[in-house]
Amino acid sequence: MTLDEVLHPAVEPLRQGRLAVGDGHELHWETCGTVDGIPALFLHGGPGAGTSPTSRRFFDARRYHVVLFDQRGAGRSTPLGATHANTTRLLIDDIERLRTLLGIERWLVFGGSWGSTLALAYAQAHPQRCLGLVLRGIWLGSQEEIDWWLYGIRQFYPREWEAFAGHVDASERHDLLGAYQRRLTHPDPAVHAPAARAWARYEGSCLHLVPQPAQADAFGADAMALGVGRLEAHYFAHQAFLAPNQLLQGMPRIAHLPGVIVHGRYDVICPPRYAHALVDAWPGVKLRMVTQAGHSSTEPGIAAELVAATDRFAQTGGFA
């Protein structure tokens, strides 16, 4: 089974535009599919990773009207890698601006990794705007999860972690986040660009059950690395701009919504423990644990479950 075999056919955007949201931020957005189809919102991961043409292919273009956008500082939004006026609350406000602009009343919210965090935060802030949620690679934004990413992944990817930690001086490695933030926010590209590449390459090297060097190279490319490196460190430093345990405690606000969680059994970026914690707080949600997969949505087993979820929702309005 290949990725092309499980995804829907490639489609081109119906509309594209730019949305100024204040403080110098301008978002790239696009739609695809069928204008009178089921409205759906795609939220990318990272933070800072941006969307790609593959993002459109999790939805049947004959049945869905899909909205995709690059979040503040990510992808084709500008300025790339900008951390000023960049918080979870502001991203939620951006989503509402975009929904209003496009005249959408309610939509299915689809998000993976950081996108799952933002999807939950958005749904809890605006439950009346959501038809349901498709979530992949659950990340709840806790300090425990942040510490795991910074230090725990070395148990599974020791050489990749050594390259990541080795980018900073040995005396700083007790506080990798602080050491990287100092470099990532440095005005000199000769300082922040290599730090961004090292940060992003570390993540890109650990995404798949079977390592994919091309994915690591893609994450380490300058355009991707600056958004991923700066924004992930920025959101880590502020615990994703969430109160402790906020998303689990907020589940009663959206427990009535249909939802499905797709998670790789061997996901080291976002360990399965947190998917199970969300299941415990969300009666009725469907959990699809993919036994031969890591974190990436481009692993065929994960992609197949995501496509099955959007297809099922289009047919039945749920995930049973």
Active site residues: 113, 267, 295
Tokens for 268, please give them: 């080291």
- The full DSSP string for the chain is --HHHHSPPP---SEEEEEEEETTEEEEEEEEE-TTSEEEEEE--TTTT---GGGGGGS-TTTEEEEEEPPTTSTTSBSTT--TT--HHHHHHHHHHHHHHHT-S-EEEEEETHHHHHHHHHHHH-GGGEEEEEEES-----HHHHHHHHHGGGGT-HHHHHHHHTTS-GGGGGGHHHHHHHHHT-S-HHHHHHHHHHHHHHHHHTSSSS--HHHHHHHHSHHHHHHHHHHHHHHHHTGGG--TTHHHHTGGGTTTS-EEEEEETT-SSS-THHHHHHHHHSTT-EEEEETT--S-TTSHHHHHHHHHHHHHHHHHSS--
Count CB-CB contacts under 10 A for residue 251.
17
99-102 contacts, C-beta under 8 A, 24 or more apart: 99/41, 99/67, 99/129, 101/19, 102/31, 102/67
